[in-house]
Structure 1
Amino acid sequence: MKKSVKKQLLMNKTGDEIQVALVEEGRLAELIIERPESRRSIGDIYLGRVHKVIEGLKAAFVDIGQKSDGFLHFSDVGTTTEDYKALIEDDDDDDDGGEGEGDEEGDAKGSSAVQAEPSGAKTVARSGGRGPSASGKDSRSEQAEKRQSYTQMIAGKLKANDSILVQVIKEPISTKGSRLTSDITIAGRFMVLLPFGGGQVAVSRRVVSRKERARLKKLVRSMLPEGFGAIIRTVAEMQEESLLRQDLEMLLGKWTQIEEKLKDATPPQLIFKEDTIISSVLRDSLNSDVTEIVANSPSIHKETLNYIEWAAPDMVKNVSLYQGKLPLFEGYGIAKDVESIFSRKVWLKSGGYIIIEHTEAMVVVDVNSGRYAAKREQEENSLKTNLEAAREVVRQLRLRDIGGIIVVDFIDMMDNRNSKKVYDTMKGELRNDRAKSNILPLSDFGVMQITRERIRPSLMQRMGDQCPACGGSGVVQARFTTINQIERWLRKYALQQSMKFQQLDLYVSPTVIEPLQNSDMKTEMKWFLQHLLFVRVKEDESLRSDDFRFYSRKNSKDITAEYGDL
Structure 2
Amino acid sequence: MSEEILVNVTPRETRVAVIENGMLQELHIERGWRRGVVGNIYKGKVQRVMPGMQAAFVEVGLDRAAFLHANDIVRSSPGAVVEGEEAPLPTPPAAPIMDLLRDGQDIVVQVVKDPIGSKGARLTTQISIPSRYLVLLPQSKVIGVSARIEDEAERHRLKQVVTELAGLHGGHGYIIRTNAEGQPAEALAEDIAYLSRVWNVVERRGRESPSCSILYEDLSLPLRAVRDLIRKDVEKVKVDSKETHERLQAFVAKYMPVLAERIELYSGERPIFDLYGVEDEIGRALDKQVPLKSGGYLVIDQTEAMTTVDVNTGSFLGQRNLEETVYRTNLEAAQAVARQLRLRNLGGIIIIDFIDMDDPEHRRQVLRTLEKSLAKDHAKTTVYEFSPLGLVEMTRKRTVESLARQLSEPCPECSGRGSIKTTETVTYEIFREITRAVRQFEAARLLVIASPKVVARITDEESTAVAELEEFLGKSIRFQADEQYLQEQFDVVLL
- For Structure 1 versus Structure 2, the TM-score category normalised by the shorter chain is 0.7 to 0.9
1:273-352 pair list within 5 angstroms: 273-352=217-296
Deviations 1:315-335 (A, max 9, x none): 322221112221101112322
For the Cα contact (< 8 Å) 2:85–2:148, is it kept in 1? no
What secondary structure does 2:285 align onto? helix
What secondary structure does 2:154 align onto? helix
- Measured after TM superposition, the shift of residue 106 of structure 1 is 7.8
Matched to 2:47, the amino acid is: H
- Measured after TM superposition, the shift of residue 474 of structure 1 is 5.4
Alignment correspondent of 2:327: 383
- Measured after TM superposition, the shift of residue 292 of structure 1 is 1.3
Distance 1:110 1:27, change over 3 A: closer
> Is 1:402 equivalent to 2:402 in the alignment?
no
Alignment correspondent of 1:164: 107
For the Cα contact (< 8 Å) 2:85–2:147, is it kept in 1? no
Deviations 1:409-431 (A, max 9, x none): 11122222211211111111111
Matched to 1:166, the amino acid is: V
Alignment correspondent of 1:252: 196
Whole-Å Cα distance in 2 between the matches of residues 286 and 207 of structure 1?
A: 16
Matched to 1:338, the amino acid is: I
TM-score with structure 1 length normalisation?
Answer: 0.70
**Contiguous gaps of at least 5 residues in structure 1:** 80-96, 116-123, 127-146, 476-540, 545-566
Alignment correspondent of 1:217: 159
Whole-Å Cα distance in 2 between the matches of residues 195 and 361 of structure 1?
A: 35
For the Cα contact (< 8 Å) 1:107–1:203, is it kept in 2? no
1:68-107 pair list within 5 angstroms: 68-78=64-74
**Contiguous gaps of at least 5 residues in structure 2:** 420-482, 487-495
- Measured after TM superposition, the shift of residue 238 of structure 1 is 2.3
Moved more, 226-235 or 186-195: 226-235
- Measured after TM superposition, the shift of residue 212 of structure 1 is 2.8
What secondary structure does 1:151 align onto? coil
Deviations 1:247-301 (A, max 9, x none): 1222122112212222332212211111111111111111110011101001121
What secondary structure does 2:253 align onto? helix
Whole-Å Cα distance in 1 between the matches of residues 298 and 407 of structure 2?
A: 21
* Partner of residue 236 from structure 1, selected from 180, 184, 194: 180
For the Cα contact (< 8 Å) 1:34–1:40, is it kept in 2? yes
- Measured after TM superposition, the shift of residue 227 of structure 1 is 4.4
For the Cα contact (< 8 Å) 2:297–2:314, is it kept in 1? yes
Whole-Å Cα distance in 1 between the matches of residues 84 and 127 of structure 2?
A: 10
Matched to 2:206, the amino acid is: L
For the Cα contact (< 8 Å) 1:43–1:110, is it kept in 2? no
Alignment correspondent of 2:40: 44
Whole-Å Cα distance in 1 between the matches of residues 253 and 47 of structure 2?
A: 45
1:259-270 pair list within 5 angstroms: 259-270=203-214
Matched to 1:211, the amino acid is: A
Whole-Å Cα distance in 2 between the matches of residues 191 and 413 of structure 1?
A: 44
Matched to 2:373, the amino acid is: E
**In angstroms, what is the RMSD of aligned CA positions?**
2.4
Deviations 1:76-123 (A, max 9, x none): 1137xxxxxxxxxxxxxxxxx7xx8x9xx78744998487xxxxxxxx
Deviations 1:5-46 (A, max 9, x none): 211000011331101000011100000000012201110001
* Partner of residue 4 from structure 2, selected from 5, 8, 13: 8
* Partner of residue 415 from structure 2, selected from 450, 471, 482: 471
* Runs of 4+ residues deviating >4 angstroms: 105-115
Matched to 2:7, the amino acid is: M
For the Cα contact (< 8 Å) 1:112–1:184, is it kept in 2? no
Matched to 2:122, the amino acid is: R
Alignment correspondent of 1:495: none
For the Cα contact (< 8 Å) 2:84–2:379, is it kept in 1? no
For the Cα contact (< 8 Å) 2:87–2:145, is it kept in 1? no
Matched to 1:343, the amino acid is: D
Alignment correspondent of 1:193: 136
